[in-house]
Amino acid sequence: MNSEKQLALLEAQIKSLQAEKESALLALGAAAGLGHFGTHYSKLPSPVPILAETAARMRDMIKLASVAVYLVDETTNDVVLSFFDGDGSGFDPDAEIAALIADQTFALALGLNRASFAAARDGSGQLLLHPLSTPARTRGMIVACLAQPRRTITDITLALFTVVANACAQALESFEHYRSIDAIRLGLEERIEKRTAELQEAFERLRVILDSVQAGVAVVDAATFKIMDINRAGQKMIGLTHSDIVGRTCFDCFSAAKAGDCPIVDRGLAESSDEHTIGQVNGGKISILKTAIAATIKGRPCIIECFVDVSEQHKLARLREDVERMTRHDLKSPLAAVIGLPEALLADASMSEDNKELLRTIHDAGVKMLTMINSSLDLYKMEAGTYKLKAVPVNVVSVLSSVIADLEDLAMSKRARVRIVREGAGDPGPPDAPFYLLGEELLFFSLFANLIKNALEASPKGGEVRIRLVPGRAAPIAPAPMALVAIANQGQVPQDMLGRFFDKYATSGKDGGTGLGTYSAKLIATNLGGEIEFTSDAQNGTEVLLRLPAPGDEESAP
């Protein structure tokens, strides 16, 4: 086989691998958003927005001609069509459900916590079935008409589909919880205005309502912070009986606040919400989402505490992270061919220089993608606290030059300039002079790529991104001298981001933003043994300050 035929075969293989890579990247992108439904359930007029969001996420993973969602009616226990999104192809969900119930397929699918498949009643295609279930109950069923062959759907895609379905079921349950809490709050506001017998009657009715919901509800004396009453769901979460809980302070049971710093009593808020972990009598721990509101009962200032168990949602988040790691791992296999085949063909002396340059471009792109995947795996180890740093002196000026070259298109689109300046006592030297820090080259590349990309995106048109390098000085108690790297731009951080600038998934007004750039930068800086902070205002713009270890006398730069 001559070189031209080899090159044609290689190009066909590369197109196939690129298609696999794009499919896997789409799955990874979908996994990044799984299990994250909004927490504004109490403001929704119906569960339809949750179901619509679920259908949209499922269509991102699998081609579906139609999606129907059936929910269990609380009164009749029948399944009722609550949402339908079809392409007008004549798919009749009610007729399909009737056929599935008749041949027991529907009942079998309800007992599975995964996707199953069935033939359409007229034999025109296949149906995808998935139950909507939580540990407490079955809430309904998804019935979708496939628009792609069953054999083309991978196991990873089906696992992602299950994550979305389970997240939808949890969101529906949370929706019901929040609606119950709102009903309870409204009922309290109306009933506390009544007197004597009316008030007693209202409390009796309220007791029935409180004990029927799965959210914990407690009444706390605002003067002593002692619990006056609590419903059965709250007792179950804490693991104590009603008599054991009443009389204890809320700080000992379900509140994360401390005496003297109560958001309602000491800070004067009318309402406060937070998420935290509480301990149980059996030694276990659960995560709760708690809302506290100020109220008055018989002229007595009180606090109404409402809380729901969100541990299952956190399990879904961990499952999503597992799927992300699995997808990253699977991406590495096809990359072996992308990197290896060009290396083998470059050994052919008869190949033209143009073809060799094309092969080198393919090889370099594969190596860069493999480096990015390995970097993401390193970030997971950092989150888990298992990353082992192999620190050596690294010339970060060379790293910064590579990052700036990679971001050249972004800088040109913003008409922005990226400039390196040297500061410090004496002659700091030219901008391209070596500047050594202790760490790993790949970590420095990821760290600076995230921060400089953010700075360029936030910079106004025609602005400048300035990178200051300040040598470190040894301190008497520091294990190594700490150098300063500061990355500044003329944009301002949005007000709603100031308190969560380095938080995971925190983003504001940025199309396509994942909220992972500054989060991963902080992880890397911490694992390098350094510190990171920022300043931002309308007059001076934004500057991210990194203090990182520099080589000491015993660790001289090469």
Q: Concatenate the DSSP letters of all residues of 347-374 into one string.
A: T-TTS-HHHHHHHHHHHHHHHHHHHHHH
Together in a domain, 301 and 345: no
Question: What is the residue range of 280's domain?
Answer: 192-309
What angle do helix axes 48-61 and 155-191 make, rounded to 10 degrees? 170
> Residue 44's domain is classified under what CATH number?
3.30.450.40
Nearest residue to 396 via CA among 533, 554, 524: 524
pLDDT in tens, 398-444: 889 888 888 888 889 889 999 999 887 666 667 778 899 999 888 88
Q: How confident is the model at residue 264 (pLDDT cuts 50, 70, 90)?
A: confident
Q: Tokens 């000992």 correspond to what residue? A: 252
pTM: 0.41
Q: Say if residues 384 and 377 touch (Cβ distance below 8 Å).
A: no
Mean pLDDT for the stretch of residues 54-71: 88
**Torsions phi, psi of 385, nearest 5?**
75, 20
Do residue 404 and residue 538 come from a single domain? yes
Q: What is the CATH number of the domain that holds 217?
A: 3.30.450.20
Return the DSSP state at 229.
Answer: E
Domain shared by 419 and 534, yes or no: yes
530 and 406 co-located in one domain = yes
Looking at the fold, whether 318 and 304 belong to one and the same domain comes out as no
The encoded tokens of residue 285 equal: 């721990």
Residues 448 and 511 in one domain: yes
Q: Which residues are registered as beta bridge partners of 486?
A: 468, 545
Cβ atoms within 10 Å of 419's Cβ, excluding its own: 11
Summarised one tens digit per residue, pLDDT across range 346-371 is 777 788 888 878 877 877 777 667 66
Nearest Cα to 491, choosing from 531, 544, 545?
544
Cα gap 251→262, rounded to integer Å: 10
Question: What is the C-alpha separation between 85 and 99, in angstroms, rounded?
Answer: 20
Most confident of 82-86, 471-475, 492-496: 82-86
Crossing angle of helices 311-345 and 3-32, in 10° steps, is 170
**Distance between CA atoms of residues 259 and 246, nearest Å:** 18
Grouping H, G, I as helix, E, B as strand and the rest as coil, residue 373 is: helix
For residues 142 and 161, the answer to whether their CB atoms sit within 8 Å is no
Assigned domain for 210 exists: yes
Six-digit token string for 217: 């509800």
Please report whether residue 185 resides in a domain: no
- Residues 253 and 137 placed together within one structural domain of the fold: no
Identify whether residues 154 and 204 lie together within a single domain.
no
| Cα–Cα distance measured from residue 178 to residue 116, given in angstroms and rounded to the nearest whole number | 31
Q: Rounded CA gap, 325 and 62, in Å?
A: 21
- Average pLDDT of the chain is 79
Task: Report, as an integer, the average pLDDT of 208-215.
Answer: 71
Ranking 13-22, 93-102, 341-350, 453-462 by mean pLDDT, the lowest is: 13-22
Could you give the C-alpha distances from 349 to 2, 117, 343, 353, in angstroms and in order? 12, 54, 12, 10
Q: Are residues 415 and 539 in the same domain?
A: yes
Q: Provide the number of structural domains found in the chain.
A: 4
